[in-house]
Amino acid sequence: MGAETIRVGVIGAGGNTTKLHIPGLQRQADVEVVAVANRTRASGAKVAEQFGIAKVCDSWDEIIDDPGIGAVCIGTWPYMHAPLTVAALDAGKHVLCEARMAMNADEAHAMLETARMNPALVAQIVPAPLTFPIDPTVVELIGDGFIGDLITLDARIAMGSNFPQWDSPTHWRMDRDLSGNNIMTMGIWYESFMRWVGPAKSVQAVGQTVVKHRRDETGKRVAMTIPDHLDIIGELEQGGQMRFALSSAVGHMPGIDIYICGTKGTIRVCGAVGKLQVEAGSIGDTGLAVVDIAEEKRYAWRVEEEFVNAIRGVETVKLTDLVTGVKHMEWTDAVTAALRTGRKMYLPLAVMGGS
């Protein structure tokens, strides 16, 4: 497209969209955010006023059907990601879709198939950014052979957890009708793990719902069906194993504590989001030492820039392409199936005849 102006329509202007995507798109040269459709016209009008967006739409199909709009930013909850992505691509529009990719692997495959049928269009999933600052360092250490052969990735994630919050309001992540098979921040972390050690080839899981009921926005008592405490084990394609404990119900646990252990060395990622620290030690060392990460090795948020550059042919989408997104959603489905059946699930699901 060269320097031709890219006109973007926004469908779903929630927290990440207003904090990151709209400002990020408006910072790009020759990009205009020209329309917004939110859950209500009133909420859309507030966003339009805040960001100087000319058109407020009553429904998302106005954006899909507008021939003057060349790209769509989808910021809805996961239950609409697949329908909107498929519709936008079929209408000839580039797509930047908020994570998580879809409700389940079947929807993710439909998105990927539609993207492949429209190869001239860019389709990008918003990546998991929690480990951006330390990703290049961890990947480089493992790639250079620092740990040797992988034995295990052992992760305990309890960020924001402070015992069961019985009176906490219902969030979309707790509603299976909106979130599908996604569980807490499970997929966000698995995406980071895939960057470091590649995908899993098997999954086993146990979980529980500690807070069994919450109140919705109307005050109605609603049963919680998505676990808030989860333990996952599995084998990795490159060899080695993964043990992943995730909870929003425990107290006095480290927020983020991840060990990547190999035959020659160990890497630890720990701390808090925005302040993650990498420690490392080899055979013969007395312990782990903090790795000093140069600023130029700290990957920063540039999702909207990457999306626009991909449309213009300057670069290709890396974080995150739809093939990677499908792997993430197949793993998510496998965890859900393991929880429900008690069985060991093998990946990729498509090889096993579907999900």
Structure-model confidence comparison of residues 350 and 81, the more confident one: 81
- Give tens-digit pLDDT for 211-225: 999 998 888 999 999
Q: What pLDDT shows up at residue 217?
A: 84
Nearest CA-CA partner of 268 in 313, 297, 135, 260:
260
Q: What pLDDT shows up at residue 350?
A: 67
Q: What is the mean pLDDT of residues 181-190?
A: 97
- Give tens-digit pLDDT for 1-29: 346 999 999 999 999 999 999 999 999 99
Lowest mean pLDDT among 89-103, 148-162, 163-177: 163-177
pTM higher than 0.85 for the full model?
Answer: yes
227 beta partners? none
Nearest CA-CA partner of 100 in 108, 91, 89, 92:
108
Counting residues of the chain whose pLDDT is more than 70, the rounded percentage is 97
Nearest CA-CA partner of 165 in 210, 205, 204:
210
Confidence of residue 349 (pLDDT cuts 50, 70, 90): confident
List of domains in the chain: 6-128+302-319 (3.40.50.720), 135-299 (3.30.360.10)
